[in-house]
Amino acid sequence: MSTFASTIPKIRDALQATFRSGLTRPLPWRQHQLYQLARMAQNERELICDALQKDLGKPKTEVLVNEVGSIVERAVKCAKQLPEWAKTEYPDVPDRRKSWRPTIYKAPKGTALIISPWNYPMILSFQPLMGAIAAGCTAILKPSELLPTFSQLLEEIVPKYLDPNAYRVVNGAVPETTKLLELQWDHIFYTGNGKVARIVASAAAKHLTPLTLELGGKSPVIIDSAYDIDLAAKRILWGKCNNAGQICVAPDYVLVQRDKQDELVKAFQKHYNAFFPKGALDSPLFGSIVSDSHYKRLTSLLSRTKGEVVLQGRTDAARRRLEPTIVKNVVDGDSLLEEEIFGPILPIVPVDSLQQAINFVNARSHPLVLYAFSENESLKQQLVSETQSGGIVFNDTFQQLAVSELPFTGVGESGYGYQFMKHTYDTFTQLRSSIDMPKEAEADLAMRYPPHSEEAVRALTAAVYKPIPASRL
């Protein structure tokens, strides 16, 4: 059920008023909200799993592990670490300025808008919200309309656990989202795709609203021939199968030495059979495609490929099921290289050298994550130096998300702004610098006032004449 568009400005105003009232300032209050968020995820897990089963066909284990468990654990961790994050900082300064008491306060930005996508809706709604709560902001959550059951559930359970004066769920589609975007926010946190991100950024520009854009792209996998192909195939396939490939950090396509392609295909086949002895079509451990339109998009891309399908995934349009499908000998210009696949199709692009693989990646938009399988330290260094991506992960896929101390971000077309734990807290926090000039400093400050004596000018401009060190090239 959509929120009436006309009530949206009122909701925003109410959240702003709550923010100004100071309700969110005390740390125990914020910690309580964080614990409540954890309790919500824990207590309502069955309803959440049911909703995501209904909307997405997401396997229960996946929901519990990646969505519910993450939120419970991280909300509790945030609450524990919050006092440390929120500490006022006293930077180390030269002696002559210590008496000025240079200080950095952590100030909440205000009222935030968090727009989340359909694929990992728990974590991508509540991970940003955790940071907003921790920072002392109020917030509106706008979950995806592609998940009607889940979005409706949020509207029911969120106010039972989180203070509705500070946090509200707003549902709807384009009209409601447009209304939200007409308003001024103190931060907008958007997770989704580049097309909509441009719309969000344009709307934000009118109000000078700061943004976080967590987008996607085609995350490449480069395989060094010397690496254990069998292990690489296992770790890549596992990453691809999560949510049937519908995740921003899914390994999108693989670049492998031409003469290793068939060995790789064989390894994929082997591990697929091990993961899904009866195939993925009816496996409760493999997700469905989110919608008919996305299902059609994927099957259409497949139908247009000029590559050779080597692992033929079975399909079921009625249930929107699509088994992992692997295509080899895919070349530049193929349908499978046009856009982020966001599905269980894995194109393999044969290359003849590492340099060719690097050039292939660099000819495209910066991905959210670059995966590479290699034990060669110089090769890893070369990839770090010669490519750009949000993250760069060696010898695995997807697992990097489990490290909550690592900032998660995109670059270029894959977005900007950081999240996870303290990084999300920082996103919703403004560093507010301060000094407190004692009266006693007046003697030291005297020379700044006009009229300037020659001595004063000399002292004030001393920095101009300081010797500059020699360059060491």
Which residue number, 220 or 350, has a Cβ lying nearer to a copy of itself? 220
Nearest approach, Cβ of 49 to a copy of itself (angstroms)?
10
Question: Among this protein's residues, is 248 annotated catalytic?
Answer: yes
Q: In angstroms, rounded to a whole number, what is the distance separating the alpha carbons of residues 143 and 175? A: 14
Contacts (Cβ under 8 Å, ≥6 apart) of 359: none
Q: In angstroms, rounded to a whole number, what is the distance separating the alpha carbons of residues 346 and 280? A: 15
Tell which residue, 373, 375, 370, 345, has the closest CA to residue 360.
370
Residue from the set 17, 274, 309, 317 that interacts with a copy of itself by CB under 8 A:
274
Of 241, 248, 340, 413, the active-site residue reads 248
Pattern of binders to a copy of itself over 247-266, x per CB under 8 A? --------------------
Cβ(162)–Cβ(138) below 8 Å:
no
Full DSSP string of 151-172? HHHHHHHHHHHS-TTTEEE---
Which residue number, 110 or 350, has a Cβ lying nearer to a copy of itself? 110
R_g of the chain, CA atoms, integer Å:
26
Both structure tokens of 394:
């060696």
Site for a copy of itself in 407-466 (CB under 8 A): 407-409, 411-413, 415-418, 430-439, 442, 445, 448-452, 457, 460-466
Q: In this chain, which stretch among 113-121, 173-181, 260-268, 387-395 interacts with a copy of itself, using CB under 8 A?
A: 387-395
| 230, 231, 242 from 275: Cα distances, Å | 14, 14, 12
Q: In this chain, which stretch among 95-103, 164-172, 249-257, 346-354 interacts with a copy of itself, using CB under 8 A?
A: 95-103
Question: Among this protein's residues, is 338 annotated catalytic?
Answer: no
For 200-220, b where at least 16 C-beta lie within 10 A, e where not — what string?
beebbeeeebbbbbbbbbbbb
Which residue number, 253 or 408, has a Cβ lying nearer to a copy of itself? 408
Kindly state whether residue 76 participates in binding a copy of itself, applying the rule CB under 8 A.
Answer: yes
- 3-state SS string over 319-376? CCEECCEEEECCCCCCHHHCCCCCCCEEEEEEECCHHHHHHHHHCCCCCCEEEEECCC
Residue from the set 123, 147, 213, 254 that interacts with a copy of itself by CB under 8 A:
213
Nearest approach, Cβ of 230 to a copy of itself (angstroms)?
11
Q: Give the largest CA-CA distance in the chain.
A: 90
Count the site residues for a copy of itself by CB under 8 A.
123
Cβ(187)–Cβ(211) below 8 Å:
yes
Which stretches does DSSP call E strand in 247-324? 251-257, 308-311, 315-316, 321-322
Which residue number, 19 or 295, has a Cβ lying nearer to a copy of itself? 19
Kindly state whether residue 85 participates in binding a copy of itself, applying the rule CB under 8 A.
Answer: no
Nearest approach, Cβ of 190 to a copy of itself (angstroms)?
11
Nearest approach, Cβ of 421 to a copy of itself (angstroms)?
10
Both structure tokens of 471:
């360059």
Site for a copy of itself in 358-377 (CB under 8 A): 362
Nearest approach, Cβ of 308 to a copy of itself (angstroms)?
26
Residue from the set 10, 25, 87, 304 that interacts with a copy of itself by CB under 8 A:
25
Strand 321-322 relative to strand 325-328, pairing: unpaired
Kindly state whether residue 69 participates in binding a copy of itself, applying the rule CB under 8 A.
Answer: yes
Which residue number, 194 or 347, has a Cβ lying nearer to a copy of itself? 194
Q: Catalytic amino acids?
A: 214, 248
